[in-house]
Structures are given as structure tokens and as C-alpha cells.
Structure 1
Amino acid sequence: MQTPSILQPFIHNHQLNIIQKQANFLLKTMRSVADRKVLATVRDTAVNNVVDAFGALTPEQYELLEQLSSYEAAHELQQYVDQLDRYVVPFPAVSPQHIQKLFPKTKKLKVPNLETIDWLHTTYLRWIDIATNRLYIVYPHEGKLIGLEGQITPMNKNGFCMFCHRNQELGFFNVKMKKGSSPDNFASLGQYVCMDNEACNHNITSTFALERFIQSASK
């Protein structure tokens, strides 16, 4: 398996999820289709779908992503995806003190055990305080971390998560926002999202809906 010898991390978690999704699609096709022309088309499509998830790529970055189409055996394809971790941009370093500053109004904030977080495979840090049924989100945007919190109500059923676009166990996430200059005027913004923190990060393939919600709720 050949990879560029000097290549800085450039893949974000949601992009890595796209690569895994396309690898799974390619693997399924390889197992069920024998026509070489069909396989070649599917390989090209998989690579194009991956490349489209990125902006401008250097020749070395493109070469690495294009290798997705070069493997014949299932174990080689999965090894390729696994070794991409070395090119993943991790979630920015954050401390409990930093998180507390993002939520200054929450005096007894229960911060998750940060040592257990898989930072390479985290698009947004999130956790639920079970005692209060509040969901906390920390998201890196334009070089800084944004904190968002709101009430989450378990729906006790599966459905479409607005953030990761997968069928998961849902909760209704409701965020209160100030409306106007009066301290008594509030509006709310709600969305159906995953109850499972890890699953959402594992499945998310686009940050558009997540960023749009955070920006709207932070106004």
C-alpha cells in the first residue's frame, strides 16, 4: 500500500465518514457484480464522490484519495481506510476549564471525561446531562469553539437525525434564544437529533445542517 511519504492531516471526520461510506458501497458492488466495466464505473463514481467532499486538493492529497479505486480484495480496501487516520485533522484541544467558559450560565456543568473521547472521529463534541435532560454541543468554527445547550426530550422511537441524516433513536433538541432587547423575550429553535453521541459523529457526512442550526441558535 503506497501513500505519500510527507502529507499533513487534511481529512476531517465527516469526510472520513464519506470515504468509509464509499468504500462500503464499492465493497458491496465488488461482491455482487462481475462485469469489469460496471466495476470500473463504480470505482470512478466512488472516487468522484469522495473528491467532491473536499475543496482544492494538492496532487499528493488527490493521489491518496484516488487509491480508493485501486484495491481488489476486501481486506486491502479496509486497510486503506483504516490507515487514513494518520491524515485526519483531530478535534481541537479543549480542557474542562475551556468548556466551562463556553457555558458560563451553567454553574454545575457536568463535563464529560475528555480522556475517553476519540478526537480523530469527532466532528462535534456533544454530551447529555441525564439528570437535567440537557444536550451540550461544542463545535469548532472559523478558529474558535462555539458552545450551545438546550433541552433534549427522548422520543423513544427511531427517525431521521437532522445532523447526520441517518435513521437513529431520536430526541427533540430545543434551544431557547433571546429575541429582541428585552430580557423576558425568548424564541426557541428545535430539531430532531440523535440521542447517541458517538453514533452521530460516526455517521455525519456533512456539517451544513449542524452549522446552520448552531448559527441560527447562536444569534
Structure 2
Amino acid sequence: MSTPFIRNHQYNIIKKQTDFLLKTLRTVADRRVLETVRYRAAVNVTEAFSSLTGDQQRMLEQISIFETAFDFQKYLSEIEAYLEPYPPITLKQIQKLFPKHKKLKVPDLQSIDFRFVTYLSWVDVATNRLFIIYPFEGRFIGIEGRITPTNKKGYCLFCNRHQELAFFSVKTKPAIASPDNYASIGQYVCMDNHACNQVITDTGPLEKFILSIRK
């Protein structure tokens, strides 16, 4: 069993369950409560996948047997070998997604560990624009819009963590083409896109937002 099958957001679910289980082990003495929490942790992890082989399920369910922080860290390190990275993407592919930007500033792709990426994004500080690329049904979808810091904390649409937010506003295609006729869709998202990728556990809100723009 060496085929990658764990996507970044699923790995984040596993991390979240290991953290919760470890905290419970450190604070709860009741064995019945611990057994219930162990069982739920294994269920929450396996339910994050639409399908699993027997070997894959048994490997993931091992989360329920560990006792120490070392055990959990070893478990996470071992399953990293099964992470399914973000699909390969080239500079030319990125430029093709944003043809209006002839001098598009793109992050150093060689420096990114794509195993831990759900959506590729970066901010062009000079223009205050956020660029997002998301792989969906075998193709890349690119969106861009103005990013405005809010200087306040709240819940990010993409990862649902409580963090410093920015308002991301994207223009959409109008029903009737006209320079003065356009619509926009805006949402509050994390200022720190890297941290967002590290904790996102559900791609649903992200996909819904992107598809509402590309409908």
C-alpha cells in the first residue's frame, strides 16, 4: 500500500483529531470516556474519505490506540508518505489562467511543499490583489480580486479558523456586457494563506465560492 490517497484537507482533519485525542488523554481519567473519544476520533478520520481500501482504513484507525505525544507524532509522520500532492502546475499554466496580467508576479513554485496545499494562492502587494488557483475535476480554476485588510479578527470562509481577516472582492461577469455593468462577490478570508492551508478541513465553502464566480 504505497499509493497516495490523503489530500491536504483530510490530513488536517487527522491532525485535528490527534490533537483533540491527546488533550483528552492528558485531562480525562474515566476509561469509558476515553474509549468513546478514541472511537469517535477513528470514525471522524475515516468518514473524511469517500472510499478506502481495507489496508488504508486499518492504517488510519490506528489513531485510536496511541497513548503519548511521541506516538501521535510518529503516526502523523508515517502517513505523510501517503499524502496526495496538489497537481503539478507550471508557470505557463498559471500565466494562461490570468491572461490580463502580462507581468504577473508568481511565487517560487520550487519552494512550495505541494503536499500541504489545498489551494495555491498569493498576494501581489503592489496592486493589493489576491490570486487563487484551485484544481477542480481535472482542471485548474483561477480567480483574482482585490484584497483589503480589515484589521479585525473573525472566521475565514475557507478554513473556518478565528484569525485576522481580509475582505476578498471578485468581479463577476455581468449578464449584459457593459463597462458600467458588473457585479462582485466578496468574502472574508485569512490574511495568511499559508496558515489557512495548514488548517483547512472542508473544501466545500472554497469550492462553492469559486464556482459561484465561475458559473
Instruction: Report matched runs for 1:138-217 at 5 Å.
Output: 138-184=133-179, 185-217=181-213
C-alpha offsets along residues 49-96 of structure 1, whole Å, 9 cap, x if unaligned?
A: 111111021111101110111111221111101221110100011111
Alpha-carbon separation, structure 2, partners of 1:58 and 1:37: 29
Contact 1:156–1:170 at 8 Å: present in 2 too?
yes
Instruction: Give the structure 2 partner of residue 63 of structure 1.
Output: 58
Q: Is the partner of 2:209 in helix, strand or coil?
A: helix
**Could you tell me how far 1:212 is from its partner in structure 2?**
0.2
Question: What amino acid sits opposite 1:217 in the alignment?
Answer: I
Instruction: Report matched runs for 1:109-124 at 5 Å.
Output: 109-124=104-119
**Could you tell me how far 1:118 is from its partner in structure 2?**
1.6
Question: What amino acid sits opposite 1:42 in the alignment?
Answer: V
**Unaligned stretches of 5+ residues in structure 1:** 1-5
Instruction: Report matched runs for 1:45-124 at 5 Å.
Output: 45-124=40-119
Q: Is the partner of 1:15 in helix, strand or coil?
A: helix
Contact 1:7–1:60 at 8 Å: present in 2 too?
no
Question: What amino acid sits opposite 1:45 in the alignment?
Answer: R
- Pairing partner for 1:41 from 36, 41, 44: 36
Contact 1:161–1:194 at 8 Å: present in 2 too?
yes
Question: What amino acid sits opposite 1:153 in the alignment?
Answer: T
Question: What amino acid sits opposite 1:192 in the alignment?
Answer: Y
Alpha-carbon separation, structure 1, partners of 2:106 and 2:10: 27
Q: TM-score, normalised by structure 1?
A: 0.95
Q: Is the partner of 2:172 in helix, strand or coil?
A: strand
Q: Is the partner of 1:44 in helix, strand or coil?
A: helix
How many pairs align? 214
**4+ residue segments displaced more than 6 Å:** none
Instruction: Give the structure 1 partner of residue 128 of structure 2.
Output: 133
Q: TM-score, normalised by structure 2?
A: 0.97
Alpha-carbon separation, structure 1, partners of 2:208 and 2:136: 11
**Could you tell me how far 1:111 is from its partner in structure 2?**
0.5
**Could you tell me how far 1:181 is from its partner in structure 2?**
3.4
Question: What amino acid sits opposite 2:108 in the alignment?
Answer: N
| Deviation larger for 168-177 or 34-43 | 34-43
Residue identity (%):
57
Question: What amino acid sits opposite 2:167 in the alignment?
Answer: F
Question: What amino acid sits opposite 2:73 in the alignment?
Answer: Q
Q: Is the partner of 1:78 in helix, strand or coil?
A: helix
